Chains A and B, each alone.
Chain A
Amino acid sequence: MSDAVDAIDRMGLDPGAEILIEARGVSKRFASYHRRATSLKERLVRREESEGDVFWALRDVDLVVRRGETVALTGPNGSGKSTMLKVLAGILRPNEGSVDVRGRVASLLELGAGFDGELTGRENIYLNSALLGVPREETDALFDMIVDFSELGEFIEYPVKHYSSGMYVRLGFAVAVHVDPDILIVDEVLAVGDAAFQRKCLNRIEEFQRQGKTILFVSHAAGQVESLCTRAVLLERGQVLFDGPPRQTIKRLNGILGVDNIAMVAGEMARISDFAIVDTGTDEGVEEFTAGSSARVTCTLTIHQPLPEDARFSLHINAPGQSDAVAHVSPNWHVVSADRLPVGEHAISWQVDEWPDMPGDFSLALGVFLGPTLIAAARLDGLRLSSGQVRHVPGTLVLDGTTQG
């Protein structure tokens, strides 16, 4: 490496530093899922997709990242952050605009990306680094460090399908940071790990910064963004709303999200407040759940006027960018007679017995209806579901020749 490049590295935030990521006028369009023709017959029947069925996930986005910068990408769910990272990583091709990325990129875009469930952690380290373009000898040399960092210990010899989501992240992150990339691209996956591991990852990111590497990551954590980043970009509905100092970006983000991620409709007749999801055991607010676990959804319903008829309650899970609910908390409609809801405040508590197995980011919406009319509603963003899937393999333990009951 030349002295000149070293000098730039040491200077850190040189505004004239070499541009490593340059995206100009990037637009990305998706055809809605149900409109995609995948059989020959469908193709022949319907030749062109009509314009009405496309959705712009990114619109005319410019992003320039220079060597040594750490840039956070923030924005509400469905604003196009992950799509932008995929375009930059070269997984998706933009429909318009140009993308130029110079240098070796290590990306960590989704949980368990690049892992094969049937292989052990050890074998997956080799597979993953081969995918990242690292020669086998280099992986041999890094192997012990990667295992150390991941803290997986002897689990490294087990098939990763038995890993928890936290273990997946640890392994994925450990590989990504050890392969000596010029650019590190990380989506929201970090939030899955436990606090101690997150701390370790952040330390590692700081070390990367000192080495003058370029980092682009998605985060909503105001503290993280402000302490770590040199710049933060706010996306909304696929457009860059703001690109500047982290503190200002976070302020605008909070402006869009409303207080604490909660959007509320306050009507004349009734109003919902203190909408929260709490752990059934501890009563503490939680945002992340594994499939099959339970929780309680609580809120305060304030009735301003006597209700003329019975109220119907609906609680459902929405995916970003989709208008229809992806899941209803059964029963679909919960009817509460009017005389149980006199004027005043009522504590509502809704038990969710089992979160569905559909990993992703969702929002939870609660609606109160009188007949067809919505009189009060609230939405809670940032509900994160993960697949808690642990497979059971039949087996028998034998001790001193005797089967254990």
Chain B
Amino acid sequence: MGLTRTRGTQTRLRTALIRQLVRKDLKVKYQGSTLGFLWSLANPLLILVVYTFVFAVVFKSPVPYFGIFLMSGMLLWNFFTMGVSGATTSILANAGLVKKVPFAHESLPLAAIGFAGAQVALQYIVLVGALFVVGLPPLRPELLLIIPALVVVIAATVGLGMFAAASTVRLRDTQHFVEVALFAWMWMTPIIYPATFVHERLGDGALFWAYYLNPMAGPIVCFQRALYGVVHYPDTEATRASGQAGQLLLPSADVSFYLQALGLSAITATVFLIAGLWLFRRRSADFAEEL
């Protein structure tokens, strides 16, 4: 056995550790409970039914298949919040490990994010199933938008998650602050309302583009374009009454718009990532002592 390990080997071992930690979390969460596992899949379906009922039937929202529209972005947001909150508490939750075993601490927030990813990925599979059932199969070239969108979301989640994880060790208040901030943040992101609502109010100047500096705004409109894909309001009684028939529902029909929005989100996500890695690296050697 060599005394020094190459960078490649180290990365491979670290990935193996993260996988092992994710597996541990999944096992602890769903141990011996198939029901628990099914519930995590049924949960988004249930939300889908409830929201469709509330918005389409009660509020008569002109957005067709409102539940599907909502889920396309909401699940991605769920990944972000679950990932960030999980990462934030990951060091505290694994205090026993950090205090007693030497290992690369990055694995903990990354595993928390991986855990969120594994659950949300399954929920997206359910959503795609639902898309086929209601007759909106997402088989279009824009589907590829989800790849760069995921890269941006992961960068933002890892960056913010690592930053919050490192600060929470010292300042336990951080975790509560993060919860509140995420809640407020959700309402600033076009998940429950289409981004066109915002566009109408911000005009098409600098303010309009500044909106997409929200690192989640770009990826979410990409997911809506890719999965939901209803670009214009259909011509129905409701939309005619509100004068929206034929108007844009999603921000644009043009792929280049989504790439630009994503680019802006990527700027903030990169800043998050750099700040998160920087703070985490700086602080991690002291974690064992501060827990």
Contacts and interface: CB of A to CB of B under 8 A. Distances in A.
Interface of A: 1, 30, 36, 38-40, 43, 86, 89-93, 102-105, 107, 109-110, 112-114, 116, 118-119, 123, 126-127, 130-136, 180, 182
Contacts of A119: 24, 27-28
Given A39-B172, A40-B173, A130 B20 contact: yes
B26 to A, nearest CB: 11
B24 A30 contact: no
Interface of A is mostly: loop
Given A123-B24, A126-B20, A131 B173 contact: no
B88 to A, nearest CB: 15
B3 interface: yes
A102 B101 CA distance: 17
A127 B20 contact: yes
A113 B96 contact: yes
B28 A113 contact: no
B16 interface: yes
Most A CB contacts (10 A, CB to CB) among B1, B3, B19, B172 go to B3
Nearest to B287: A91
B286 A93 contact: yes
A116 B24 contact: yes
Given A104-B3, A133-B103, A136-B16, 19 more contacts: A36-B290, A40-B173, A91-B102, A92-B289, A102-B3, A102-B4, A104-B1, A105-B102, A107-B102, A113-B97, A114-B100, A116-B28, A118-B27, A119-B24, A123-B24, A130-B17, A130-B19, A131-B103, A133-B13
B172 to A, nearest CB: 5
Contacts of B290: 36
Contacts of B20: 126-127, 130, 136
A118 B3 CA distance: 34
A44 to B, nearest CB: 11
A123 B28 CA distance: 11
A40 B171 contact: yes
A162 B103 CA distance: 26
Contacts of A90: 102
Contacts of B1: 1, 104, 180, 182
Contact of B171 (A39, A104, A107): A39
17 contacts: A1-B1, A38-B170, A43-B171, A91-B98, A109-B100, A113-B101, A114-B100, A118-B27, A123-B24, A123-B27, A126-B20, A127-B20, A131-B101, A132-B103, A133-B17, A135-B16, A182-B1
B31 interface: yes
A118 B289 contact: no
B288 interface: yes
Interface string B102-122: 110000000000000000000
A97 to B, nearest CB: 14
Interface string B266-290: 0000000000000000000110111
Interface string B1-20: 10110000000110011011
B60 interface: no
B99 interface: yes
Interface of B: 1, 3-4, 12-13, 16-17, 19-21, 24, 27-28, 31, 96-103, 170-173, 285-286, 288-290
Most B CB contacts (10 A, CB to CB) among A103, A116, A118, A134 go to A116
Contacts of A123: 24, 27
Nearest to B17: A130
A85 to B, nearest CB: 10
A79 B100 CA distance: 19
Contacts of A112: 96
Nearest to A133: B13
Contact of B13 (A116, A127, A135, A180): A135
Contacts of B99: 91, 110
Nearest to A181: B1
A114 B27 contact: no
Nearest to B9: A135
A36 B21 CA distance: 30
Contacts of B27: 118-119, 123
A130 B16 contact: yes
A103 B3 CA distance: 5
B31 A89 contact: no
A126 B288 CA distance: 23
A310 B20 CA distance: 64
B92 to A, nearest CB: 11
Contacts of B285: 93
A39 B172 CA distance: 6
Contacts of A134: 13
Contacts of B172: 38-39
Contacts of B289: 30, 92-93
Nearest to B94: A116
B170 A114 contact: no
B16 A113 contact: no
A43 B290 CA distance: 14
Nearest to B14: A133
A134 B28 CA distance: 22
Contacts of B103: 131-133
A358 B172 CA distance: 25
Nearest to A30: B289
A135 B28 CA distance: 22
Contacts of A114: 97, 100-101
A202 to B, nearest CB: 23
A30 B3 CA distance: 32
A107 B97 CA distance: 12
Contact of B28 (A36, A86, A102, A118): A118
A367 to B, nearest CB: 34
Nearest to A1: B1
Contacts of A43: 171
Contacts of B13: 130, 133-135
A341 to B, nearest CB: 47
